[in-house]
């Protein structure tokens, strides 16, 4: 093999490659390689949607780049990416930095990376074991990135203290004031408590239980990471909290800007395997936020060893069409003044950003003299990049004030806030300019001052206030199921709209979302397409508890005076699993009729075997089997082989056997084996009716 290979503008260095890949995901990597050879990056999303597979989403989604896209890097920055894999973030680093050096053990993955980024002339890939390559690496990197890599420190380095040794080695390659950026799952992330499997091992609760079965992968809690940083001599570090996690981050928090109540509602975001849903993560996050515990239970960390960044918060809106893909950022400038900025994530989105200053001026004109302030926007063009800068407004989101009313069951208070909202946004409603995204979260309240902080979707047309207000309510309800206690009828009455109007507004909202997202599937839709289940154990528990009440076999005996409830009895342990019944009954010689109630619910039963003193009961004989159900299978001609199936459209099913017609002794034994399936009552009635027609 040649020591150097060129693919487009990328150089691959095989001088330390051992000659074979020691790990591989098999055929999926061959498929990925074919895709990146044949398709342009703009076509990857369609390939992801067509393939409907987790590996395709994980390796090719542009959302993977979010985890590093927010990091301020100069155009002359020198970056080392350890464990670059298939290049999920290499492209983002290439666009931001002056040079990117990748280290990757797998040749196949390096080829995937090279082909998908073949136009990047500032990327070099070293293929081989990190320990073999490391002595030849430079010692002046501005950034060293370990994205989903640090947890494999044992495999990279080995020894008794692999993670500490890993960092010590990397620190030798940092320039003064350089930074190491680590993205890693939190072993105590809330998603693991709520029922997600551990990302690397695919087992429930293994990280929470401190990896009792061993293995070569280790994630850490925040304090565990800090102990490692101290032990390897780090002097400064900072934590950021990607949400929902670092793989497909949509929001990034920091200790200087932690989430508020109601912000963390997008939690069903595991795509790689089935999961349980043990509790409502949104509600749990709200409680953790209130208690100041979010940093300990965030699902992932971005730990930065070195100086802080000015960025305190970032929100990504790149699940849209490219014309509207943007990043919203909150931070502090060099003077310490807080700011809010919106950046385009694509060339096509620059016009959208530039339109925000014009929207500000138009909205100021419309609401001049009203009780709704418009947050100031200034368009800034710097080093060839344009961004919109807004003032940082202090206060409480209107959505949070409304949530507080609902939690107190203060419906009048909620309604008062809502009507105040309607009055303020409805000012000059005939004027041909409107922000269609006047949702409650976009309004900050500080005493009597209400400020609209985000007006990205402002159009040159008038929009009826009732439509704007209904959309705000509609979005508010969609964000959190707890808000369903809201009295929507009262809202509609206040807005003077009926269900026909509401349905029309919902259709308008669907068209608007289509306008924003185009043909892109949302991440929720991708999760459904990939097809992994979300299981709710509480339903199993409820079903089991319910089964205990109805999965009971009751026996009645008629000795000539009819059945008597007081003398009936229940057969313990008759159910062998959920669908199988076996029982052996002692029957005295004076019993004439025996009644068996197989359940306390509507059901279908097949009598698979019935023996009286070891002989098959001739159920096909006239009046031998009497039931209040509908027999779905006619009698067999061969005596003793009949296995009737009976549909019971009643919650009191019973099977009566004329044991008086059988040869009896003083003491007798009846053995019964049945299969039973519980049915909803309506279904049982429909089935019984169908059987009746057939017979």
How far is the C-alpha of 673 from the C-alpha of 408, rounded, in Å? 56
pLDDT mean over 45-63: 93
- Could you give the percent of the chain with pLDDT greater than 90? 82
Number of H helices, E strands in the chain: 22, 34
pLDDT surpassing 60 at residue 309: yes
Tell me if 628 sits within 8 A of 654, measured CB to CB.
Answer: yes
Average pLDDT over residues 161-174: 96
Q: What is the pLDDT of residues 668-689, one digit of tens each?
A: 999 999 999 999 999 999 998 8
Average pLDDT over residues 262-271: 86
For the chain, the domains span 4-318, 328-390, 396-529, 548-694
| Predicted confidence (pLDDT) per residue in 12-44, tens digit | 999 999 988 877 778 899 999 999 999 999 899
**Exposure of 585 by Cβ count < 10 A (0-12 exposed, 13-18 middle, 19+ buried)?**
buried
Q: Distance between CA 417 and CA 397 in Å, rounded?
A: 12
State how far the Cα of 382 lies from the Cα of 326, in Å rounded to an integer: 17
CATH class of 4-318: alpha beta
Considering the domain delimited by 396-529, tell me its CATH architecture: Orthogonal Bundle (1.10)
The CA–CA distances, whole Å, from 461 to 363, 377, 457, 502 equal 12, 21, 12, 20
Cβ partners under 8 Å of residue 317, min gap 6: 324, 325, 326, 327, 328
Q: How far apart are CA 277 and CA 269, in angstroms?
A: 12
Supply the pLDDT for residue 528: 84
Region 139-158: mean pLDDT is 94
Please, which residues have CB within 8 angstroms of residue 58's CB and are 6 or more apart in sequence?
A: 64, 88, 247, 271, 272
Q: Which two tokens stand for residue 570?
A: 């229940």
Interacting residues of 662 by C-beta distance below 8 A, sequence separation 6+ = 612, 617
pTM score: 0.81
pLDDT of 446 > 80? The answer is yes
Question: What is the token pair recorded at 214?
Answer: 């061993």
> For the segment 68-92, what is each residue's pLDDT rounded down to a tens digit?
999 999 999 999 999 999 999 999 9
pLDDT value at residue 476 = 93
What is the percent of the chain with per-residue pLDDT over 70, rounded to a whole number? Answer: 98
CA-to-CA dists, residue 551 to 225, 472, 680, angstroms: 51, 48, 14
C-alpha–C-alpha distance, residues 297 and 673, integer Å? 52
pLDDT digits (tens, 9 = 90+) for 583-637: 999 999 999 999 999 999 999 999 999 999 999 999 998 889 999 999 987 666 5
Please tell me the distance from the alpha carbon of residue 234 to that of residue 225, in angstroms, as a whole number.
Answer: 11
H-helix or E-strand spanning residue 94: helix 90-96
Q: Which residue in this structure is represented by tokens 């490659």?
A: 17
Contact 534, 275 (CB under 8 A): yes
Average pLDDT (427-449) is 96
- Cα–Cα distance for residue pair 158/216, rounded to 1 Å: 10
Q: What are the CA-CA distances from residue 74 to residues 63, 96, 607 (Å)?
A: 22, 7, 78
Q: Which of 675, 694, 616, 683 is nearest to 648 (CA)?
A: 683
């Amino acid at each position: 093999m040649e020591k150097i290979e060129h693919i487009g503008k990328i150089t691959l260095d095989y001088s330390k490659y051992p000659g074979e890949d020691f790990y591989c995901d098999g055929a999926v990597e061959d498929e990925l390689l074919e895709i990146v050879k044949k398709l342009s990056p703009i076509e990857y999303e369609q390939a992801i949607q067509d393939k409907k597979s987790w590996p395709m989403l994980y390796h090719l989604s542009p959302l993977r780049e979010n985890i590093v896209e927010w990091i301020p890097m100069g155009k002359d920055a020198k970056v080392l990416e350890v464990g670059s894999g298939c290049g999920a973030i290499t492209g983002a680093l290439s666009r931001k930095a002056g040079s990117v050096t990748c280290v990757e053990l797998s040749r196949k993955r390096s080829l995937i990376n090279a082909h998908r980024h073949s136009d990047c002339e500032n990327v070099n890939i070293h293929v081989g074991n990190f320990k073999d390559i490391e002595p030849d690496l430079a010692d002046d990197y501005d950034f060293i990135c370990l994205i989903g890599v640090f947890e494999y420190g044992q495999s990279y380095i080995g020894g008794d203290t692999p993670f500490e040794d890993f960092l010590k080695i990397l620190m030798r390659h940092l320039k003064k004031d350089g930074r190491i950026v680590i993205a890693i799952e939190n072993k105590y992330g809330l998603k693991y408590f709520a029922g997600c499997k551990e990302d690397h091992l695919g087992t429930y609760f293994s990280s929470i239980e401190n990896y009792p079965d061993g293995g070569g992968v280790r994630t850490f809690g925040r304090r565990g990471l800090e102990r490692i940083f101290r032990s390897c001599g780090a002097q400064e570090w900072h934590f950021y909290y990607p949400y929902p996690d670092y793989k497909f981050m949509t929001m990034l928090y920091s200790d200087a800007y932690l989430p508020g109540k109601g912000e963390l509602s997008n939690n069903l975001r595991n795509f790689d395997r089935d999961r349980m849903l043990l509790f409502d993560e949104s509600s749990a996050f709200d409680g953790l936020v209130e208690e100041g515990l979010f940093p300990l239970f965030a699902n992932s960390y971005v730990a930065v060893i070195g100086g802080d960044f000015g960025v305190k918060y970032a929100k990504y809106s790149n699940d849209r069409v490219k014309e509207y893909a943007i990043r919203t950022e909150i931070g502090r400038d060099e003077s310490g003044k807080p700011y809010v900025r919106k950046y385009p994530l694509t060339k096509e989105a620059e016009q959208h950003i530039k339109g925000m200053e014009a929207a500000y001026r138009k909205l100021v004109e419309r609401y001049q003299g009203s009780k709704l302030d418009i947050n100031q926007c200034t368009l800034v063009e710097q080093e060839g990049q344009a961004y919109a800068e807004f003032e940082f407004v202090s206060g409480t989101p209107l959505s949070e004030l409304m949530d507080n009313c609902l939690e107190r069951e203060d419906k009048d208070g909620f309604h008062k806030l809502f009507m105040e909202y309607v009055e303020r946004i409805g000012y000059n409603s005939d004027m041909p300019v409107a922000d269609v995204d006047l949702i409650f979260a976009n309004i900050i309240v500080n005493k009597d001052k209400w400020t609209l902080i985000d007006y990205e979707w402002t159009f040159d047309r008038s929009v009826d206030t009732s439509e704007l207000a209904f959309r705000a309510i509609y979005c508010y309800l969609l964000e959190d199921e707890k808000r369903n206690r809201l009295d929507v009828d009262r809202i509609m009455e206040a807005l003077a709209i009926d269900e026909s109007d509401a349905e029309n507004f919902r259709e308008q909202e669907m068209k608007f979302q289509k306008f924003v997202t185009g043909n892109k599937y949302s991440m929720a839709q991708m999760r459904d397409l990939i097809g992994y289940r979300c299981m709710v154990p509480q339903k199993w528990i409820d079903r089991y508890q319910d089964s205990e009440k109805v999965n009971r076999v009751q026996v009645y005996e008629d000795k000539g005076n009819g059945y008597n409830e007081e003398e009936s009895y229940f057969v313990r342990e008759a159910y062998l699993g959920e669908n199988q019944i076996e029982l052996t009954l002692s029957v005295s010689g004076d019993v004439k009729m025996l009644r068996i109630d197989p359940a306390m619910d509507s059901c279908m039963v097949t009598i698979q075997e019935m023996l009286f003193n070891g002989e098959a009961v001739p159920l096909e004989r006239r009046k031998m089997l009497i039931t209040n159900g509908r027999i779905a299978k006619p009698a067999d001609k061969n005596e003793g082989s009949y296995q009737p199936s009976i549909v019971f459209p009643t919650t009191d099913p019973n099977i009566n056997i004329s044991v008086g017609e059988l040869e009896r002794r003083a003491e007798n034994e009846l053995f019964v084996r049945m299969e039973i399936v519980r049915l909803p009552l309506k279904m049982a009635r429909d089935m019984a009716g169908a059987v009746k027609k057939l017979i």
